[in-house]
Structure 1
Amino acid sequence: MSKPDSVDLSAFTVPGTGRGVFDVFGYRYLLRLLVRKGILTRYHGSALGWAWSYVKPAAQFLIYYLVMGVFLGLNRGIEAFPVYLFSGIVVVNLFNEAFGNATRSIVNNRALVKKIYLPRELFPIADVFIAFVHFLPQLTILIAVCLFSGWAPSLVQLAGALLAIVIILLIATGLGLLFGSINVTFRDSQNLVELILMFATYTSPVLYSFQMVENKLPPWLFDLYMMNPVTAAVELFHSAFWFPTTSGSAARPEHLWLISALAIVIAIVALVVGQLVFRRLEGRFAQDL
């Protein structure tokens, strides 16, 4: 009896042996569909629709400004405090939404995960893209306010703002992959992430200046504080949007670019660790869901 001809399987990929986040680039069409779906369904059935992207940050700014600026008097200690406050809020909001949504992305898409094979990294990355789209209206408001305040940034400061966005997207993606994969098995990971997001808001110089922290902490602990990628991103946004609207006497952190370079390294390490943990656990996703 003759042996059957061997079948060429070189064009097929065994599930679970892909290239991780790099496979997302091969599924760009599906990524666009997921992002489009997330954007269209976010305010589905809402009377205000996309207006909520403006109303929510405006309400958040108003509350913080009244409490921290008026009641606690920080508007007298920080020049152009409204611009300072809002330029920090938009950065933290981007991190909170991207990281929080990415953590829940696998669980929220359990139907697709259990039925078909596709790079699971698509889901957290799509949620990070969706958060970035929702960040754009807030950035538009910030730019409009800065222009009204006489904003004239340099190219270096604008490059710093772009770097800040990259830092936030990288760290949010890495942490989203890490906690998103753990959350499939241990749902209380979402509660831990909520605590992290709460700390991210209050441990970054958004409601206060970095000098207040510097005056209270020993030098080595202050250096660790400044190495937080979210803190570095906030200060880059302050440098790009707030500082050009001041008289020029406002203080900025020393070695901000070195701090930002360290933040990029930390964000990349978080992305690599998140990807490794994600790949280690994704084989159990369908079973645990």
Structure 2
Amino acid sequence: MNIFFKELWSYRELLIELIKRDLRVKYRKSVLGYLWSLLNPLLMMMVVSTVFSYMFRFDIVNFPMYLLTGQTLFNFFSEATNMAMSSITNSGSLIKKVYLPKQVFPVSRMLSSFVTFLFSLLAIVIIMIITRVKVTWTILLVPLPLIYILIFTIGVGLVLSIMSTYFRDVIYLWGVFITAWMYFTPIFYPISQLPEFASNLMRFNPMFQMLQCFREIVLYGTFPSWHRHVACIVCATVSLTIGIYVFRKKQGNLILHL
């Protein structure tokens, strides 16, 4: 694991340049540019909130904030892992020409997605002001769930970047899997709507733990239980450990599959 991070640090300038490139490419020829990072979650929140307010009536206080906090975090996870999957194959020509630590490519894509995600957090601030969410001292703990989900995402993304290079079908399978994962995570419905067996299974859902940690800090102004923090830390650590192990184990033969 130390070697993995030492190589990233040695090529930190390249990593930063790749992140900048991804951000420039994402909003190239866009009139509003980075404003879309703010507008996208707001517009989606308005649409989904309207639909669920009339079609489904869940007993959720401040549903727009409940929805936005879940939607923003899960969208980051979804976007970052999808970007990681194509990172190595898209950089195949460069990898074949010069030696570079291959983890630079998936990590840079995920970090660029994280930067966009940080911009989108402004949408949450706006809705907090509009809906008059009570801000408490716990808001200072916001970086914690963000760090948890970033580490967890990097671990998953590293595994997917390897798997999708060896087997292109993984890209399509992941699209189906993450959609199912989204519906199994209480983003737009309360956990109370689930049957008992599903509620018990939910505690094994890493995204639920991190999402709830974020909501408790931002929306409810409470300190998440230590059990919640431990669950998030374990999920993030296990994910990153497995991701680094799989990546280092299989990266040697990647060039044969590009």
- TM-score scaled by length of structure 1: 0.82
Report if aligned partners of 1:83, 1:241 keep a CA contact under 8 Å in 2.
no
Distance 1:209 1:22, change over 3 A: farther
Report if aligned partners of 1:181, 1:281 keep a CA contact under 8 Å in 2.
yes
User: What is the letter of the counterpart of residue 127 of structure 1?
Assistant: R
User: What is the letter of the counterpart of residue 227 of structure 1?
Assistant: F
User: What is the letter of the counterpart of residue 67 of structure 1?
Assistant: V
User: What is the letter of the counterpart of residue 98 of structure 2?
Assistant: I
Alpha-carbon distance in structure 1 between the residues aligned to 2:99 and 2:62: 52
Matches within 5 A, 1:9-24: 19-24=3-8
State the 1:54 CA deviation: 2.6
Query: Which one of 94, 104, 107 corresponds to residue 76 of structure 2?
Result: 94
Report if aligned partners of 1:104, 1:180 keep a CA contact under 8 Å in 2.
yes
Alignment of 1:109 onto 2:88: no
Query: Which one of 193, 204, 211 corresponds to residue 234 of structure 1?
Result: 211
Report if aligned partners of 1:94, 1:168 keep a CA contact under 8 Å in 2.
no
State the 1:115 CA deviation: 1.3
Equivalent residue number for residue 272 of structure 1: 241
Equivalent residue number for residue 32 of structure 2: 48
Alignment of 1:190 onto 2:179: no
Alpha-carbon distance in structure 2 between the residues aligned to 1:120 and 1:27: 11
State the 1:59 CA deviation: 2.8
Instruction: Give the SS at the match of 1:67.
Output: helix
Equivalent residue number for residue 63 of structure 1: 47
Matches within 5 A, 1:188-227: 188-213=169-194, 216-218=195-197, 222-227=199-204
Deviations 1:93-120 (A, max 9, x none): 1111111111221112112211111111
Query: Which one of 54, 60, 64 corresponds to residue 82 of structure 1?
Result: 64
Alpha-carbon distance in structure 2 between the residues aligned to 1:22 and 1:232: 30
Aligned residues: 258
Alpha-carbon distance in structure 1 between the residues aligned to 2:5 and 2:106: 10
Equivalent residue number for residue 166 of structure 1: 147
State the 1:172 CA deviation: 0.9
Alpha-carbon distance in structure 2 between the residues aligned to 1:262 and 1:47: 42
Report if aligned partners of 2:217, 2:224 keep a CA contact under 8 Å in 1.
no
User: What is the letter of the counterpart of residue 266 of structure 1?
Assistant: C
Distance 1:45 1:234, change over 3 A: same
User: What is the letter of the counterpart of residue 172 of structure 1?
Assistant: T
- What runs of 5+ residues in structure 2 fail to find an aligned partner? none
Structure whose alpha-carbon radius of gyration is higher: 1
State the 1:30 CA deviation: 0.7
Report if aligned partners of 1:157, 1:240 keep a CA contact under 8 Å in 2.
yes
**Identity of paired residues, percent?**
27
Deviations 1:1-55 (A, max 9, x none): xxxxxxxxxxxxxxxxx91244211211111100000001112122332232233
Instruction: Give the SS at the match of 1:49.
Output: coil
State the 1:157 CA deviation: 4.7
State the 1:170 CA deviation: 1.1
- What runs of 5+ residues in structure 1 fail to find an aligned partner? 1-17, 245-251
Instruction: Give the SS at the match of 2:102.
Output: coil
Equivalent residue number for residue 4 of structure 1: none
Instruction: Give the SS at the match of 1:44.
Output: coil
- TM-score scaled by length of structure 2: 0.91
Alignment of 1:260 onto 2:237: no
Alignment of 1:282 onto 2:226: no
Equivalent residue number for residue 14 of structure 1: none
Alpha-carbon distance in structure 2 between the residues aligned to 1:156 and 1:241: 7
User: What is the letter of the counterpart of residue 153 of structure 2?
Assistant: A
Alpha-carbon distance in structure 1 between the residues aligned to 2:84 and 2:139: 29
Alpha-carbon distance in structure 1 between the residues aligned to 2:73 and 2:6: 26
